[in-house]
Amino acid sequence: MLVMGIETSCDETAVALVEDGLVVRSNAVGSQIDLHRPYGGVVPEVASRAHLELLLPAVDRALVESGCSYDDVEAVAVTVGPGLVGALLVGVAAAKGIAVARGIPFLGVHHLEGHVMAAQLEHGPLELPVLALLISGGHTSLVHYAADGTATTVGQTIDDAAGEAFDKVARYLGLPYPGGPEIDRLAATGDPSAIAFPRAMWSTDDYDTSLAGLKTAVVRELRRREATGEPIDLPDVAASFQEALVEVQVYKTQLAARALDVPTVVMAGGVAANGRLRAAMQAACDDAGRRLIVPSKPLCTDNGAMIAAAGANRLLAGERSPLDIAVDPNLALRPLPQTVRRTTL
Ligand code: KG4
Ligand code: ZN
């Protein structure tokens, strides 16, 4: 069953073709990074216009790369929220058009459910229950998917998302947008214990996190050093900031996994591409005897394959979305259908 997945919720114009919700046949990503870089972040109006220009070429590229034609596509899935409303509208309008023109099923997908389902693309069908750390530019939350598929957000950032913190600190350090990969690269040569940045919410026993204080601490430390003439070693600052952020995310994830007694942790979203976070989460899961599933880096950042995987999963459960479905920038997660555990390769 070949499903086309379309993702335009933020600054990637992405289209992919996925077989049975499990095997990626093509994954075309039209990045808008160069367009937003001069502004230091995503400009919603620029994103919407760019999606309009980049989307149909991305559809063509996905078809060519997969060696398939429109005749082979059996359903179309698209992100309907959360995200930038104007950006979402472009993908949803295109997906509806394709579904009507081809007479195939249409599925509206939750962006974060897409990130979770990316775990299926390289690791096989997802076995519930899992605890998912969804960590991206717009979200940082811990979602518990119970054995019956029920989705409960058990913890989340009370202020900035992790990707937002990476991007803001990077901007302050004079690094280009998006800052996450830049800090990741710079931190590789720095000393993570050089500066003791605060580990916010470290001692509380809920699963929420806070990143605004860490971001402010980095800015304050840089200003202090500028004023006193103390040297500023950018790799050390990057590594120390990253370590503080990673330590708290790993700690809270393990705390929740232990309390909920889940055997598997899924980590997904753009920040899950971070090298230090991947290594630290792996080590913590190994210590605790839990399985960690993390998509490869290109499938952590926004892509169409994850949307196709999530759409296929719902289609297999007999779901369809109505063609008058609206985009919803604040869309809530829904329970995962039971087929997640019954799908076989
Ligand atoms: O999931 P995503 O592509 O888009 C959203 O749904 O937000 O995540 C983008 C975020 C950006 O903030 C970016 O800086 C961050 O993910 N990111 C990283 C890395 N790669 C991307 N953060 C830390 N380390 C990375 N290697
Ligand atoms: Zn995302």
Q: Is the CB of 178 inside a 6 Å radius of any atom of ligand 1?
A: yes
308/300 Cα distance (integer angstroms):
14
Using the mean position of ligand 2's atoms as its centre, give its distance from the Cα of residue 8 in Å. 10
- The pLDDT of residue 340 is 55
Query: What pLDDT score was predicted for residue 200?
Result: 83
Which ligand does the CA of 297 lie closest to?
Answer: 1
Question: Is 30 a pocket residue for ligand 1 (Cβ < 6 Å)?
Answer: no
pLDDT at 167: 96
Question: Which contacts qualify for 214-222: CB closer than 8 Å, 24 or more apart?
Answer: 214/165, 214/241, 214/244, 214/245, 215/160, 215/165, 215/168, 215/169, 218/169, 218/172, 219/169, 219/172, 221/195, 221/197, 222/172, 222/173
pLDDT of residue 341: 52
Between CA 135 and CA 211 the distance in angstroms is 12
* Ligand 1 atom nearest to CA at 170: 14
Expressed in angstroms and rounded, the spacing between residue 136 Cα and the centre of ligand 2 is: 6
Ligand 1 pocket, residue 270 CB under 6 Å: yes
- Quick check: CB of 302 below 6 Å from ligand 1? yes
137 lines ligand 1 (CB under 6 A): yes
Token look-up 């409960």 returns 152
At residue 345, the pLDDT reads 38
- Between the CA of 137 and the centroid of ligand 1 the distance, in Å, is 5
Ligand 1 midpoint to CA 273 (Å): 7
Minimum CA distance residue for ligand 1 atom 7? 137
Which of ligand 1's atoms lies nearest the C-alpha of 164? 12
Whose CA is closest to atom 2 on ligand 1? 270
- Most ligand 1 atoms within 8 A of CB, residue of 160, 177, 301 to mutate: 301
Tell me how long the chain is: 345
Quote the pLDDT of residue 247. 97
Does ligand 1 lie within 6 Å of residue 10's CB atom? yes
Residue numbers of the chain with a pLDDT score lower than 70: 202-203, 339-345
Nearest-5° Cα angle at 280, 128 to 272: 60
User: What does residue 80 show for φ and ψ, rounded to 5 degrees?
Assistant: -110, -5
Q: How far apart (Å, rounded) are the C-alpha atoms in residues 92 and 30?
A: 17
- Does 83 sit in the ligand 1 pocket, CB within 6 Å? no
Q: Looking at ligand 1, which residue's alpha carbon is closest to its atom 22? A: 180
Q: Is 295 in the pocket of ligand 1 (CB under 6 A)?
A: no
pTM: 0.95
Atom of ligand 1 nearest to the CA of 269: 1
Q: What is the pLDDT of residue 65?
A: 98
182 C-alpha to ligand 1 centroid (Å): 11
CA distance 39 to 41: 6
Q: Do 119 and 293 contact (CB within 8 A), yes or no?
A: yes
Nearest residue (CA) to ligand 1, atom 16:
270
Using the atom order of ligand 1, give the atom closest to the CA of residue 273: 26
Q: What's the gap in Å between 271 CA and the centre of ligand 2? A: 9
